Structure 1
Amino acid sequence: KQRCGCLLSLDFFGNFSHSRRDSGGRESTSLGAPSRDVNKHGGAQQAAANIKTPKFSGKTTWEVFIAQFELLSVAAGWSEEHKAFQLALCLCEDAAACLLLLTEEQRGDYNALVGALQRRFGQYNQPVLLRSEFHNRRRLPGEPLRILAHEVECLCRRAYDSMPPSVQAELARDQFLQALSPKELRMQTQLAQPATLSAALELALEREMLAGSSGGADDTHVVRAMSAPVEQMEMPAGLSSLVQTASRQSPSPRAGPRRRPQSCWGCGQVGHLIRQCPKLAAVQGNAQGPV
């Protein structure tokens, strides 16, 4: 009990309250702030510390592993020395052999360890080849649209890694539109003028689902009603009889125009040529005597 007449008390949750009696003997109680301050980022760091670090053997993609490791190190708040220690513990099988290529000092250097693993398991592709592969990417027969969009975006990020993200997104959208097939699907999606790659993918999926396309690269579409025989099509009785009559009377489309019968140039009669003319043969036979 203090001189001011207030009584302080601490509850179970760490909050303190003070009570005060007025001149009439009534007691008023008010709650105070918690006695201890909670670190906002302490929960995230503690959760990241409890996560088991992934293992890397060299059989998986190095770029995917190092991206996950960087996210974990940032969430846990590791220093450069601790990052090198954790990365060394993540290595196994063929990847662990890279430790033998480094000295004891380099094994504690995070950048040196990452460089050794990058040289061994990283993907080294020339930007010119990557850009050529990116611009020549087309949809394969039977390839789903989601896989096409994913690979186009990955190629764009690798080929134009120095470009701003906004430029990369625009290039990926334009190349996805160019890679679409069939031709009708590509034209319909382009006419909609999607703003992003995601919007173009959703439009293409919607139109392909409505069209019932199989998702191949073949641009030919055969209409079943046109390829079906006339007899199998449902027609009225009068129209069906007219079609059959016209088909019997019409000449065969393969037959060419009728030619006039040729006449012999010798005698002028029809039915044979001049080399088969009997009159000319008789005349030649009479003229074969001695001169």
Structure 2
Amino acid sequence: MWCRPPEQFNYPPMMVRRLGHLTRNSSKQQRRRISEKKILHTLSEEDRNRYSAPTAALELRFGDEHLKKVFVAQVKTRIQKVGESLQEFAADVKKLVRLAYTEAPQTIQERLVTETFVDGIRDVKVRKVLQPSRHQTSFILCLKLCAGSGGGLQFFKSVAETEKEENNKIEKLLEKLLRQIDELFRRRENDVSRNQSVECYRSGRQGHLKRDCRAR
């Protein structure tokens, strides 16, 4: 796992196993940094022969606390890769969230999984369908999409078509209401202009008829 095996430092077997355990999750690039920065070589000759000094230095860089921060950063920046299926993307998001937030309640983890999954979907149409529903509703949709038991993308298409039909109905209703309002205003304006052209034979004033005249 190391660029330079820990055995070359002439550590006791127990220490070698511990150093290998600490770097088990490190990438090739991270292991290369050990050699480049010479983390172990920064320790004095006396510290190298002590178990606590090298393990503390490696724990700082490769320990659980460091990995947790790495997982949190990955959750925040995780998006669906090119060619990655929704099932694969969802599974990886769930894994990252559980590793990054091990102490969080299950409800919080599910919420983070949902948000990360929805925000990271590459398909804009799918994302638009899931984003307004958010949290519990979108989590259910995610499960149906990713499980494949709900018809997969066919399920998404039916949801999108239903939403489109509802939006069209609302738009048509609004247009109808606007037309009715315009018609009422036109009638009122016509009534006002018609009344202004009427002259009362009793008072000689315009705007009302003789039968409606209040002048006696």
TM above 0.5: no
Which protein is richer in strand relative to its size? 1
If the TM-score is normalised by the length of the shorter chain, which range does it land in?
A: 0.3 to 0.5
Q: TM-score, normalization: structure 2?
A: 0.39
Which protein is richer in helix relative to its size? 2
Q: TM-score, normalization: structure 1?
A: 0.30
